[in-house]
Amino acid sequence: MEKNKITNCKIAIIGGSAGSLQALLQILPFLENPISFAIVIVVHRKSSDEQTLEDLIDLKSKIKVKLVEDKVKLQTGFVYIAPSNYHLLFEKEETLSLDTSEKINYSRPSIDVSFESAAEVYGSNLIGILLSGSNSDGTVGMKAIQAAGGITVVQNPLSAEMSFMPNNAILHTKPDYVLSTEEILDFIKGINKESF
């Protein structure tokens, strides 16, 4: 794999659906604190799942989880997780907002909605990472990140519990990197450093 030369990242946004929790738990607990960027996680969740995911990741991760509330200011060094039953949007003032408009790809939060919104605000300072899942959400968002000059990473379908989502993104976007879960961990560790 090529050396990671990404030194201007403000946000790494990670999207996933079925099977992505397993990948997240192979990545987040092994990241060292502090980090020089924010991590934003957008995964498909049941609307009844209130804070279970936040609590689990906060427990397992060395990097602190910040609760996402409407108009909260995004800060480097934290993990943010899109709450269930809301689309997560990014605003020019580097704040997060929550939206209850219709589901996209049968999902709220929608990965596409968050990826496209982040691309508009952060452009080339954005890295989009798409994990395991069983529908096509995320592909349109990955295209938006690429068009804005950001970097795109897709989990290798061979390492994904559900390969449809990463396969679909690979087929339609030609991502910058296709990496196994372990390689994604190394990739994130190398963000804003000269190389890894």
3-class DSSP state of 147: helix
Residue 112 among the catalytic residues: no
The active-site residue, picked from 17, 20, 110, 117, is: 17
3-class DSSP state of 109: coil
**Between 139-147 and 111-122, two packed helices, what is the crossing angle to 10 degrees?**
10
The active-site residue, picked from 61, 110, 114, 137, is: 137
Residue 17 among the catalytic residues: yes
Q: How far is CA 110 from CA 41, 90, 121, 195, in A?
A: 11, 13, 17, 32
DSSP E strands, 6-117: 11-16, 38-43, 65-66, 72-73, 79-81, 87-90, 95-99
**Contact between 161 and 51 (Cβ < 8 Å):** no
Please name the residue that has the structure tokens 């090529």. Answer: 2
And the tokens for 50? 């209130």
The active-site residue, picked from 44, 61, 87, 112, is: 44
Catalytic center residues: 17, 44, 137
